[in-house]
Chains A and B, each alone.
Chain A
């Protein structure tokens, strides 16, 4: 525990001091999700199209990255890869540590993203693909025009989980000496001995980013899924209209009755 009594004003001060390091955290998240999307697609395709050997390899790849702790993956790539490359006479001793970190997080999120893609594509009903084929589209057209837009919309909530998970996982990059927000927080903590204050501001920072990302993903999902959601809105509208019309017709009947009387 720190030697100083708790003082909330430090929470705000440290929060501000953490902000510059946020750039590195977001840089790791952004680039590893971007590469992860490419990797994920490449790993998902052989499974979707049942390519014999590649399908197997894809499963092994996914099992490895989902089944081992990311901390160990970080160490394996950071210490192991240079040794491996030395065997084929490639020297990576001058490569920045950040490269290995982004590589690991890309491959890691790629494994999860491939599962997201696979699930979303399988969720688009087969009948629509058949309709596309029946009208003369080829496989590529059917995928790009019919399957992908719907799969994208379906996948947003799960994809959001992957991104948020990735954000939190970047807090382990400090173990390799990367000064992203967690790394920065540890340095500040060690120097100031105000551990509660610094970790409170760190938690607050993670929470705010997550919150903003969640909102963004939610809006994106609503936008992409408007072809399904509008149905509910429409139904509600129709129900409202129905009740108004119902009343209007009974009123009309009443008037008719009066007229006959």
Chain B
């Protein structure tokens, strides 16, 4: 359903993505692991053209875009196929939780306000925030903000949700609530690509793991294959840095 072919991206002379191929099936949860600076964020941002890839081809749900010369409408159509959950939440600060979730439905999908409202309330309920509908982001904890971010992404009913380290800005005691929401929506069969440093979580939730380093996919496979018998030395080195109690050095 999602296919990336030879995605390349350079910032100036620095090539950050060196030809990434990736395939994701409907309902799959793909976790991307890799050291800091390996290009994980850039890859996710290329999938919705927040970053314009220098070369390659992106296909999501039947929409194909050649990255070299994309038209404005290509980019627009492609963006509507996916939704993103950001490391820094990026909620609209002047809108309440409910308005944040409704915004895309009303403005982009042109759904009548009442209907959008009902759907958004249902989604906020799903992420456990039914009593925070009218709270502004500044009145919410990081964990709550990120759950609004997830509801906002779900609202758009996208083909795939892209999550970039959704828990790394959170205080440790708030990580659990966000992970459990992600776990819940993964069980509902929503397709996700998630960049994370939570190894146990990736092992548990992902159906497919990708290990990236220095702008290339070094190794990929099922969680069992990748965690228990990694083939590449670089993968082994990376996994070793994550001590059993989950403390890591990145």
Measured CB to CB, the residues of A under 8 A from B are: 125, 127-128, 130-138, 141, 145-146, 149-150, 153, 227-228, 230-231, 234
Contact = CB atoms under 8 A, between A and B. Distances in A.
Contact of B104 (A127, A136, A227, A234): A136
B86 interface: yes
Nearest to A130: B50
Interface of B: 48, 50, 76, 79-80, 82-84, 86, 88, 90-95, 103-104, 107-109, 136-139, 152, 156
Contacts of A137: 104, 107-108
Nearest to A124: B93
Contacts of A231: 136, 138-139
A138 B72 CA distance: 10
A231 B139 CA distance: 5
A131 B156 contact: no
A136 B80 contact: yes
Contacts of B83: 134-135
B50 A227 contact: no
Contacts of B90: 125, 127-128, 130-131
Contact of A134 (B79, B91, B107): B79
A136 B86 contact: no
25 contacts: A125-B90, A128-B91, A130-B86, A130-B90, A131-B84, A131-B91, A133-B48, A134-B50, A134-B82, A135-B79, A135-B103, A135-B152, A136-B79, A136-B80, A136-B108, A136-B109, A141-B108, A146-B94, A150-B94, A153-B94, A227-B94, A227-B138, A228-B138, A230-B136, A231-B136
Contacts of B138: 227-228, 230-231
A56 B138 CA distance: 38
Contacts of B137: 227
B173 to A, nearest CB: 16
B77 to A, nearest CB: 9
A135 B152 CA distance: 9
Nearest to B105: A135
Nearest to A148: B94
A230 to B, nearest CB: 6
Given A131-B86, A146-B92, A227 B136 contact: yes
A136 B79 CA distance: 6
Contacts of A128: 90-93
A135 B88 contact: no
A7 to B, nearest CB: 54
A117 to B, nearest CB: 17
A228 B93 contact: yes
Given A145-B107, A231-B136, A231-B138, 14 more contacts: A130-B86, A131-B86, A131-B91, A131-B92, A135-B83, A135-B152, A135-B156, A136-B79, A136-B108, A136-B156, A137-B108, A145-B103, A227-B95, A230-B136
B78 to A, nearest CB: 10
A145 B93 CA distance: 12
A227 B80 CA distance: 28
Contacts of B104: 135-137
A149 B94 contact: yes
A128 B80 CA distance: 17
B76 A136 contact: yes
Contacts of B156: 135-136
Contacts of B80: 136
B88 A127 contact: yes
Contacts of B108: 135-137, 141
A231 B50 CA distance: 30
A227 B99 CA distance: 12
A149 B95 CA distance: 10
Nearest to B84: A134
B112 to A, nearest CB: 17
A224 to B, nearest CB: 9
Nearest to B137: A227
Nearest to B89: A127
